[in-house]
Amino acid sequence: MRKYRVLILSLFTLSFILSCQNQGIEPEDQVESQAVHSGEGLPEIPKSMSLFGEQIELDNFDVRERLDKEIIVNTYYHSSTIQILKKANRYFPLIERILEEEGVPNDMKYLCVIESALNQATSPSGAKGFWQFMPAAGKENGLVINKEVDERFHVEKSTRAACDYLKTAKRNFNDWILASASYNCGVGGLKKVMKAQQADEFFELYMNRETTRYVFRIMALKLLMENPTAYGFDPTKMELYEPIETKQVEVDESISDLGNWAKEKGSNLRMLKVLNPWLISNKLTVSEATFTIELPAK
């Protein structure tokens, strides 16, 4: 009987040790461990690159290796990267146009990519949409958020809201790279770290893991998406998602049933929700502002 108790205790101890070891593996590390590869075929990291119109020298070993890590993660995370390339063909033209109109660098589209992978995502903390706004930040930047409408899911309006935030951050730091980093940790949080460490540049800062990786993820996605074939992705052989042709319907009166309304317009609730994910209820109350609902053009 004593032998059985010793055996059970040994098995329990082994199980506990393995469990503790597994808890230390984060998702990105799992991706890297599954994507064992010799590294052959990857292009060399350039000696410098531009981001947001600013030149970044990549001659420091720390900077190069942090960038190398993010390139490897995205190069061998095939399912996600392929979907990003497909969706970028649909959404980048709209996002690029808005960035240009708002006076924000074109490269900020890659910030959108690392935030949501161009999905109408919801994070565990409650951030939503392409640009992952929290409720308070969304409202501060002009988005309508209530029980019927959540404009964090509105691609055009959330992109303009992100531009408002980034332009405010740029005025605070006079630097687009720092402005982009503040999108992750907040203007106040970034200023506090910079003051404490007496640092003026992002690459000099010692920060939490998420913010430390943030700008490097943007840099890696830019390198990969501007030259995908160099990293093993050939968009010419993919069925890229095309922009959707829609017609816009101006709504200045409340709608009690969006399904019936869509049917009357020659469509259905499914297409209405797919094209207008910001409509989060089955009704729409219009008081002062009007809304524009998109429906299939055909």
Span 118-128, pLDDT tens digits: 999 999 999 99
107 shares its domain with 66: yes
The residue from 220, 237, 254 where one domain ends is: 237
Q: How far is CA 87 from the centre of its chain?
A: 12
97 shares its domain with 201: yes
Domain hosting 274: range is 246-296
98 shares its domain with 198: yes
Residue at 288 is within a domain: yes
Mean pLDDT of 169-189: 96
pLDDT at 30: 40
Mean pLDDT of 248-270: 96
Residue at 37 is within a domain: no
187 shares its domain with 116: yes
> From residue 40, how far is each of 36, 80, 91, 157, 230 by CA, in Å?
11, 21, 32, 42, 11
271 shares its domain with 131: no
Give the distance between the most distant pair of CA atoms in the chain. Answer: 80
Residue at 36 is within a domain: no
250 shares its domain with 222: no
Residue at 282 is within a domain: yes
Q: How far apart are CA 11 and CA 14, in angstroms?
A: 5
Using alpha carbons, select from 55, 39, 36, 38 the residue that is nearest to residue 47: 55
Least confident of 114-118, 168-172, 217-221, 288-292: 288-292
228 shares its domain with 252: no
pLDDT at 38: 44
270 shares its domain with 217: no
pLDDT at 288: 79
Query: From its phi and psi, is residue 281 left (phi > 0), alpha (psi between -120 and 50) or beta?
Result: beta
Q: CATH code at 224?
A: 1.10.530.10
Residue at 27 is within a domain: no
Give the total number of structural domains in the chain: 2
pLDDT at 28: 43
Q: What is the pTM of this model?
A: 0.84
Span 17-75, pLDDT tens digits: 333 333 332 334 443 433 334 445 688 899 999 999 999 999 999 999 999 999 999 99
Residue 99 predicted with pLDDT over 70: yes
Span 109-163, pLDDT tens digits: 999 999 999 999 999 999 999 999 999 999 999 999 999 999 999 999 999 999 9
pLDDT at 298: 80
Regarding predicted confidence, which is higher, 101 or 19?
101
Residue at 222 is within a domain: yes
The residue from 237, 260, 280 where one domain ends is: 237
